[in-house]
Amino acid sequence: MAPPEAVPQQEQEQKQVPEQVRQSAPAAVLEARSVSKRFPGVMALDDVSFSLRAGETHALVGENGAGKSTLIKVLTGVHRPDGGELRLGGQPVRFARPFEAQQAGISTIHQEVNLVPLMSVARNIFLGREPKNRIGLIDFARMHGEATELLDGFGIRVDPRKPLHTLGIGTQQMVALARAVSVDAQVVIMDEPTSSLEPREVETLFRIIGNLRCQGIAVLYVSHRMDELYRICDRVTVLRDGRHIHTGDLAGLGRVRLVSMMLGRDLSEARRTGLTRFDGDGRGDGHGDGRGDGHGEERDEGNDVAGTPERTPALTATRLNRRHQLHDISLSLYGGEVLGLGGLLGSGRSETAKVLAGALSLDSGELTVGGRTLRRMGSAGAIRAGISLLPEDRKAEGIVPGLSVRENIVLAAMPRLSRFGVVSRRKQDRVVDIFMRRLRIKASSPEQPVGELSGGNQQKVLLARWLCLEPKVLLLDEPTRGIDVGAKAEVQSLIDDLAREGLAVLLISSDIEELIEGADRVVVLRGGSVAGELEGDAVTESRLLEALADHSPAPTGKAPAGQEDPR
Amino acid sequence: MNETTPVAVAQVPPPRKRPAVRGDGAPHRGAGHRPAPARRLLELLRSQGVLAVLLAVVTTASFVYPTFATLDNARGVTVQASFLAVVALGMTLVIITGGIDLSVGSVFALGGVLAAWASQWGVLPALLAPLLVCGAIGLLNGFLIARAAMAPFIVTLATLLAARGLLLAVTDEGATTYLVPKGSAFAGLGQGSVWGFGHPVLIALVLFGAGGLLLQRTSSGQTLFAVGGSSDAATLMGLPVARTKLLVYTLSGLLAGLAGALNAARLSSGVTIVGVGMELDAISAVVIGGTLLAGGAGSISGTLWGVLLLAVIQNLINQIGSLNSSYQSVVSGGFLIVVVVAQRCLARGRRAG
């Protein structure tokens, strides 16, 4: 460990400099100035500026679509910015390829392990810069020795000759880390490094980050785990919708405040209701209103058509577990109600939906649909059981852009609309006509390719696809993301209508307002487990924010890893 | 601020000794990390299982057929195998990067014709002409695959046809057969021998030695494995993916052309009908040799044994005499299936282990 006086000295100096001055302070190792990046139809980064200082651990946070990945890709040479510039050590730089960024001392650990599984551990670590002997051939003995030494420093004992794929995913991640650190990096970018690590490995990672800090290496740390950020990061940069929202010290920045910046919610209400009203168990016992305690004896006075809890739930999930992603998630979904599923990115909300729809397998847990317990069902089984999932990424997982509106709608219903394998065009047209009118899909004709429609109409086409299967349970993952305001309202009222007609709807949204207005109940996930459930009047912005942000009373940051807090 | 950082770094000794990439110290040995014997055997079987099969076949055949285990027969088999070996060497490199080169059979034939045609001006033109043209075809393959991101299967299928067409154009639709001048230095390259082993065998061995060094002991070789194992990862690691692909297809074209030239030298003429289906023999040899068809793993030595195994099988069928030589393909096909199934089982065992 480092002599304690060296780093604190540096730290204190940082803290004395006003923020405005620091933004352009020469100590910035890596700096992005007004960087913009446009993709077809999306402004992924809009005039984003931020800087990384030597020896700091800098958190980069933001929800889905905030532009974190794009920013990382710009910094590492995967994408070239459309506007603005990068500065490395004060000098403007342009990276045409990832290789150039690495040459310049920026190394990256990607979220998924980006190594070569068939090659040995040592070869992976040293690919492209193998130690050579006198006549220019690779010196394997030295390579294995150095790899062993390097990994020993990380507290990992593996045979460096072993193929990488024989190791656990956490160990693989550590090998990636070893590779990133063993080049002479000035900047190490870590994109969700802990998402596949065991707690013990996380501790090792933090120790390594502490070491990097001592060597004056800047770390850009992307994570959704608040605890981790507050433990090891000095400063934080918040992005939202491709824009820079905030950069500042993490210590002294409350968690609720941070979350509200990520989500774009006003802080005033959160402040007013504050931490005092949120008393730990996430149930809101302090509320004296009719539906606050969730036991339901006063349900019959309910102001909605939501199913009464005495009815059997359309879907019950009991103690769902999935390694690293879901821990003991239990929830019930009733016909005629919209259940909101809240949570920050990485909280397990999409994974939960995918598990319910059979698209992800479970390690343990039980799913009951319409009174029947399902063990392994898979996507086809889920559809048969009446569960439909509208996926989060409609481009990648739903829409077939080259096919027409009609073809996209009837895709999943094909077996029902055909006899002896021959598709009845007449039946198709009838179904398509009904849904196009009902969902008010705006297209020139049913034959128009879906790729030409607006985002909102694409979403409606997808919705129609699942609705013509006549599902009992509809899982909607971010149904209004990326669609314009008018279409958003339409989709939202459509969701209400569907619930009123008796469908059980699970609504996942990072838009707090959408959850509050659209959902009868809200289950909040955090770190893969249920953090709380809000019902009726308890569904308020402040309580949601608190549940999202973690209500444990730790508004200020703890000491960074790798040293004791000197103050 | 700009002073503090270096100062802080200077004051704080790095907690972990960062190993120098170049140093003259004694090589470190990874102590206490020997693979378990069973695993090592499995590993050996996977990469060199073909060698065991080859030895078994050769031993058995030596007892059964007295004419098999003679020096003359060994010389004949190795010379026969040497041309395919050189082609398969290039194919191994291509397949390790996850690609395929279907054009080698045509390129082999074209190389032979060009060499025979150019041999009238001496040995140097006779080698340069096929190398230049076939290297250019390989480069074109590589360019289309690496830069234009086209599928290797399609690109090399197209050049297979194109090279065959070029060959027909050069030989007036196959009507002209160019002859290598008798007794020329070029003819000696194909027909001469050292201790009875033909020059082509020695050339093939030298090339395999060089190929093995390139693959196992150079950064470029490691990059080949990385590109085949995970192209995305290789890109993100900053490895020259496109350049590597360009290199392997060019090498494959060069080697196929060279093999064709050697074959022409041996036959004293540019035979136009050789090389048909040779790409499939080469692929068989590579896969039998333990290289994964999906890329990312394989070895040069395995390919050598694979080529020899195919050659020995053909030779045995000739020895048997009563067996129709058509069955040779059936037997090699059977071997291919057995080896691929065995590979898959071993791979599964390794994953479980």
The residues that bridge with B321 in the sheet, in sequence order, are none
Neighbours of A21 (CB within 10 A): 9
Q: Which long-range contacts (CB under 8 A, 24 or more apart) does B39-45 make?
A: B39/B353, B42/B346, B42/B349, B42/B350, B42/B353, B43/B350, B45/B346
**A84-103 pLDDT per residue, tens:** 999 998 889 998 888 888 88
Domain co-membership, A441 together with A495: no
B5: chain A residues, CB-CB within 8 Å: 10, 27, 54-55, 216
- When mean pLDDT is compared across B35-44, B125-134, B188-197, the lowest value belongs to B35-44
When pLDDT is cut at 50, 70 and 90, the band that residue A238 belongs to is: very high
A419 belongs to a structural domain: yes
* Chain B residues 47-86 within an 8 A CB cutoff of chain A: none
Residue A340 gets the label, from left (phi > 0), alpha (psi -120 to 50) or beta, of beta
Closest approach of A55 to chain B, Cα-based (Å): 7
Q: Which residues of A touch B34 (CB under 8 A)?
A: 159
Chain B: residue whose CA lies nearest to A151: B16
Instruction: Indicate if A361 and A505 belong to the same structural domain.
Output: yes
Residues 200-239 of B with CB under 8 A from A: 213, 216-219, 222-223, 225-226, 229-230, 232-239
Q: Which of B11, B18, B225 is closest, CB to CB, to A119?
A: B225
Give the amino acid at A445. S
pLDDT at A13 over 50: no
Top pLDDT among A402 and A131 is at: A131
**The model scores a pTM over 0.90:** no
Largest CA distance in chain A: 86
Partners of residue B240 in chain A, C-beta under 8 Å: 99
Q: Given a cut of 60, is residue A148 above it in pLDDT?
A: yes
List, for residues A502-545, the tens digit of each pLDDT value: 889 999 887 787 888 888 899 998 888 888 888 878 888 888 88
A356 plus A378 within the same structural domain:
yes
Mean pLDDT, to the nearest integer, of B278-297? Answer: 90
pLDDT band for position A271 (50/70/90)? very low
List the domain range (segments joined by +) for residue A430.
394-470
Q: What is the pLDDT of residue A34?
A: 92
CA separation for the pair B306, B298 (Å, rounded): 12
Residue at A25 is within a domain: no
Contacts with A216 from chain B: Cβ below 8 Å? 5-6, 8-9
Domain contains A43: yes
B21 with A131: Cβ contact below 8 A: yes
Interface of B with A in 321-350 (CB under 8 A): 350
The tens digit of pLDDT for each residue in A300-345 reads 333 444 444 456 788 888 888 888 788 888 888 888 889 999 888 7
Distance from CA of B210 to the nearest CA of A (A): 12
Does residue A22 sit within a domain?
no
Search chain A and give the residue with CA nearest B19. Answer: A146
- The nearest alpha carbon in chain A to B241 belongs to A99
Please tell me which of the candidates A2, A7, A115 has its beta carbon nearest to residue B233: A115
Nearest to A116 among B4, B230, B240 (CB): B230
> Cα separation of A130 and A143, whole Å?
7
Q: Looking at the predicted structure, is the pLDDT value of residue A21 above 70?
A: no
Residue type at position A535: E
Residue A159 lies in a domain: yes
Residue B42 confidence (pLDDT): 65
Cα B4 to Cα B186: distance, rounded to the nearest angstrom: 71
Q: What is the 3-state secondary structure (H, E, C) of chain B?
A: CCCHHHHHHHHCCCCCCCCCCCCCCCCCCCCCCCCCHHHHHHHHHHHHHHHHHHHHHHHHHHHHCCCCCCHHHHHHHHHHHHHHHHHHHHHHHHHHCCCCCCCHHHHHHHHHHHHHHHHHHCHHHHHHHHHHHHHHHHHHHHHHHHCCCCCHHHHHHHHHHHHHHHHHHHCCCCCCCCECCCCCHHHHHHHCEECCEEHHHHHHHHHHHHHHHHHHHCHHHHHHHHHHHCHHHHHHCCCCHHHHHHHHHHHHHHHHHHHHHHHHHHHCECCCCCCCCHHHHHHHHHHHCCCCCCCCCCCHHHHHHHHHHHHHHHHHHHHHCCCCCCHHHHHHHHHHHHHHHHHHHHHHHHHHC
Examine the domain organization and report whether A7 and A95 are in the same domain.
yes
What are chain B's domains?
A: 51-352 (1.10.3470)
Same domain, A218 and A313: no
Task: Output the domain CATH number for residue A532.
Answer: 3.40.50.300
Q: With an 8 Å Cβ cutoff, are A149 and B223 in contact?
A: no
Classify the C-alpha dihedral B173-B175-B181-B184 as positive or negative: positive
**Residue A12 reports pLDDT greater than 60:** no
The yes-or-no verdict on residue B81 having pLDDT over 70 is yes
Contact A166 B239 (CB under 8 A): no
In this predicted structure, what is the pLDDT of residue B237? Answer: 84
Q: What is the pLDDT averaged over residues A54-81?
A: 87
Contact between A145 and B213 using a beta-carbon 8 Å cutoff:
no
Q: Work out the mean pLDDT of chain A and round it to a whole number.
A: 78
Chain A: nearest CA to B228, how far in angstroms?
Answer: 9
Say if CB A447 and CB A375 are below 8 A apart. no
Interchain contact B292–A (C-beta under 8 A)? yes
Same domain, A309 and A358: yes
Instruction: Say yes or no for a CB contact (<8 Å) between B19 and A55.
Output: no
Are A82 and A122 part of one and the same domain?
no
With CA atoms as reference, the chain B residue closest to A164 would be B351
By C-alpha distance, which of A315, A353, A319, A367 is closest to A473? Answer: A315
| Contact yes or no for A338/A502 (Cβ under 8 A) | no
> How high is the pLDDT of residue B105?
96
Long-range pairs for B163-170 at CB < 8 Å and ≥24 separation? B163/B103, B163/B106, B163/B107, B163/B109, B163/B110, B163/B137, B164/B106, B164/B109, B164/B110, B166/B110, B166/B133, B167/B106, B167/B109, B167/B110, B167/B113, B167/B272, B168/B272, B170/B110, B170/B113, B170/B114, B170/B117
pLDDT for position A553 = 43
Look at residues A183, A199, A227 and tell me which one is the last residue of a structural domain. A183
User: Nearest-CA neighbor of A538 among A329, A266, A264, A281?
Assistant: A281
Whether residue A92 lies inside any domain: the answer is yes
Q: Which residues of A touch B215 (CB under 8 A)?
A: none
Interface test with B, best of A103, A129, A142, A156 (most B CBs within 10 A): A142
Of all residues in chain B, the one with the smallest CA distance to A155 is B16
My answer on whether A496 and A521 are in the same domain is yes
Count of domains for chain A: 4
Site from A52, A127, A188 to mutate, B interface, most B CB atoms within 10 angstroms: A127
Confidence label for A446 from pLDDT (cuts 50, 70 and 90): confident
3-state secondary structure of A226: helix
Asked if B222 and A165 come within 8 Å (Cβ–Cβ), the reply is no
Name every chain A residue with its beta carbon within 8 A of the beta carbon of B226.
116, 119, 127
Q: What local confidence, expressed as pLDDT, does residue B32 receive?
A: 41
Cα-to-chain-centroid distance, residue A266: 22
User: Which residue in chain A has the smallest CA separation from B298?
Assistant: A118
Cβ–Cβ below 8 Å for B33 and A148? yes
Query: Tokens 């010290």 appear where?
Result: A249
Percent of chain A beyond pLDDT 90? 13
| Partner-chain contact A102 B15, CB within 8 Å | no
Collect all residues of chain A within an 8 Å Cβ-Cβ radius of residue B236: 78, 98, 108, 110, 114
> What pLDDT was estimated at residue B130?
96
List, as ranges, residues 1-40 from B with C-beta within 8 Å of A.
1-2, 4-9, 11-12, 14-19, 21-22, 27-31, 33-35
Question: Average pLDDT of B35-64?
Answer: 75
Q: Mark yes or no for CB contact A118/B297 under 8 Å.
A: yes
Residues of chain A contacting B11 with CB distance shorter than 8 Å:
3, 6
> Where a domain ends, among A183, A206, A222?
A183
Residue of B303, B297, B296, B335 lying closest to B317 (CA atoms) = B335
Contact of B183 with chain A, judged by CB distance below 8 Å, is answered with: no
**Same domain, yes or no, for A88 and A192?**
yes
Instruction: State the smallest CA–CA distance between residue B247 and chain A in angstroms.
Output: 16
Is residue A176 over pLDDT 70?
Answer: yes
Among candidate residues A183, A206, A232, the one where a domain is terminated: A183
Q: Are A7 and A140 found together in one domain?
A: no
Yes or no, beta carbons of A102 and B237 under 8 Å apart = yes
pLDDT digits (tens, 9 = 90+) for A472-489: 898 988 887 767 666 777
Evaluate whether residue A75 is within a structural domain: yes
Predicted confidence (pLDDT) at residue B157 exceeds the cutoff of 60: yes
Q: Do A118 and B292 touch (CB under 8 A)?
A: yes
Nearest CA in chain B to A104: B238
Residue A456 and residue A329 share a domain = no
Asked if A144 lies within 8 A of B29 by C-beta distance, the reply is yes
Indicate the residue of A53, A114, A141 with minimum beta-carbon distance to B236: A114
Percentage of the residues of chain A whose pLDDT score is greater than 70? 81
Rounded to the nearest angstrom, the minimum Cα separation between A82 and chain B is 21
> In the prediction, which pLDDT does A305 show?
42
**A165 plus A288 within the same structural domain:** no
Strands A57-61 and A218-222: parallel
Q: A144, B296: Cβ pair inside 8 Å?
A: no
